[in-house]
Amino acid sequence: MSLTVNIKKRLENFNLKVAFEAGNERMALLGTSGSGKSLTLKCIAGIEKPDSGQIVLDGQVLFDSQKGINLPPQKRRVGYLFQQYALFPNMTVEQNIACGMWQMTRAERQKAVAVMIERMKLNSHWKKRPAELSGGQQQRVALARILISCPKLLMLDEPFSALDSHLRWQLELELAETIKSYEGTTLLVSHKQDEVYRLSDSVCVLNDGSAEQKRPVKELFEAPSTMSECMILGINNISRARTVDDYTIEAIDWGTRLCTGKAVPTGISHIAVKEEDLVFANGEVTNKIKCQVDQVIEDVSSTLLMLSTPGGDSGSSRLQLRMPKTPGMKLGKSDRLNLHIDPARVMTFNR
């Protein structure tokens, strides 16, 4: 199965402009709230109509503005799992799953529903209504209703947003098994990077309505290539930068010079460092930054240090360092320490 999307849509205060391709894979659309993720899914499903462009699924044109093609949702073979599951409250589990199978005979429908109920482990719930089910059971019913129609594309829009935190992990494990056995393309929308990392093969970051280049998910998390990717991954240690020489940059906001592991690209404007790449400096090392503790923030299992640098007093001049809680750690406000950054771990960006 293959999906090609190249569309534009203008709203009152927002412009969507996305272009990407997905093969027989689990692909995620990652972005902040309001970046256009759900709107993209709705355009693919036929719920929203783009202003221009083209959507092609497995060789079939679903939308083409120039040719005047805009297939209705029921003809697109797209399975769309909404955030709230959209189950019919007055129908049983069995009826909810069967409601999209009108084209089958009654006997065929009953057989297909029985197989799906067994597959989704809903055997003891088939006569219950949605209000009698847990959030996880409702999700399985919604998935069963989608999968029974054999869609060419499965789209999951924030699949855990309606669940309490203690249910998320179990449901994620169950969903992972479901989409692993699904023989087609899966699109996952999320703003949670851990879900994207565990459930996806590839990822496309949406930034203010625009799609960046699709990348393997592990490659993105290991080495973000744009500032928007960097920020969506929660990397907060970012400084303005300028080139000093081929292998040296000045971190303007941190008030220090840093060596890089490879030649400095032309036209860099910023650098970033992951929290886990900041370590305590022992003796004379390259890329040492002198810091002072401004704040100590205690979490359940870790301690976050907010550190001022020689760069000044602005928010961007501070570094963040998260450490596991240890009985012997006695760092407090105004304590001084030195940090080291491996030159190979300094990330550079063009704005």
Phi, psi for residue 88 in degrees, rounded to 5:
-80, 115
d(C-alpha 45, C-alpha 62), whole Å: 9
User: DSSP state, 70?
Assistant: E
d(C-alpha 197, C-alpha 218), whole Å: 7
d(C-alpha 125, C-alpha 308), whole Å: 57
Of 187, 164, 156, the residue nearest 21 (C-alpha): 187
Name 254's Cβ contacts closer than 8 Å, sequence gap at least 6: 239, 289, 309, 310, 311, 317, 319
Task: Decide which of 160 and 199 is more confident.
Answer: 199
Give the pLDDT confidence score for residue 163 in this predicted structure.
64
Which range of 30-44, 50-64, 185-199 scores highest in mean pLDDT? It is: 50-64
Q: Is 328 a residue whose pLDDT tops 70?
A: no
Q: Is 252 a residue whose pLDDT tops 70?
A: yes
Q: Is 243 a residue whose pLDDT tops 90?
A: yes
Q: Is 72 a residue whose pLDDT tops 70?
A: yes
Residue 86 in tokens: 């959209």
Topology alike, domains 3-232 and 237-349: no
Please count the other Cβ atoms lying within 10 Å of the Cβ belonging to residue 175. Answer: 21
Asked if residues 191 and 203 have their Cβ atoms less than 8 Å apart, the reply is no
Q: Which long-range contacts (CB under 8 A, 24 or more apart) does 284-290 make?
A: 285/340, 286/259, 286/340, 286/343, 287/258, 287/259, 287/340, 287/341, 287/342, 287/343, 287/346, 288/338, 288/339, 288/340, 289/254, 289/256, 289/319, 289/338, 289/339, 289/340, 289/341, 290/256, 290/336, 290/338
Going from the C-alpha of 162 to that of each of 4, 136, 169, 187, 273, the distances in angstroms are: 29, 10, 13, 18, 34
Mean pLDDT value across the chain: 88
Give the pLDDT confidence score for residue 217 in this predicted structure.
94
Give the pLDDT confidence score for residue 135 in this predicted structure.
79
Question: Sign (positive/negative) of CA torsion 280, 282, 286, 290?
Answer: positive
Q: Is 315 a residue whose pLDDT tops 70?
A: no
Give the pLDDT confidence score for residue 107 in this predicted structure.
83
**Which H or E run includes 176?**
helix 165-181
Of 204, 350, 209, the residue nearest 272 (C-alpha): 350
Sheet holding 288-298, edge to edge: 278-280, 336-341, 288-298, 302-308, 319-324
User: DSSP state, 316?
Assistant: G
Tell which CATH architecture fits domain 3-232: 3-Layer(aba) Sandwich (3.40)
Q: Is 19 a residue whose pLDDT tops 90?
A: yes
> Quick one: pLDDT band at residue 106, thresholds 50, 70, 90?
confident
d(C-alpha 288, C-alpha 300), whole Å: 30
Three-class SS of residue 24?
coil
**pTM for this prediction:** 0.84
pLDDT in tens, 253-307: 999 999 998 999 999 999 999 999 999 988 788 899 999 999 998 888 888 999 9
Residue 10, CB-side half-sphere exposure with 13 Å CA sphere: 3
d(C-alpha 19, C-alpha 3), whole Å: 11
Give the pLDDT confidence score for residue 167 in this predicted structure.
67
Specify the range with the lowest mean pLDDT, choosing from 73-82, 110-119, 324-333: 324-333
Overall average pLDDT of the 15-24 stretch = 94
Q: Is 165 a residue whose pLDDT tops 80?
A: no
Domain 237-349 has CATH 2.40.50.140: yes
d(C-alpha 154, C-alpha 17), whole Å: 22
Give the pLDDT confidence score for residue 227 in this predicted structure.
86
Overall average pLDDT of the 170-178 stretch = 79
Percent of the chain with pLDDT over 70: 95
pLDDT in tens, 107-126: 888 888 888 888 888 889 98
In the chain, what are the domain boundaries? 3-232, 237-349
Residue 312 in tokens: 């000044």
Question: Sign (positive/negative) of CA torsion 205, 156, 201, 223?
Answer: positive
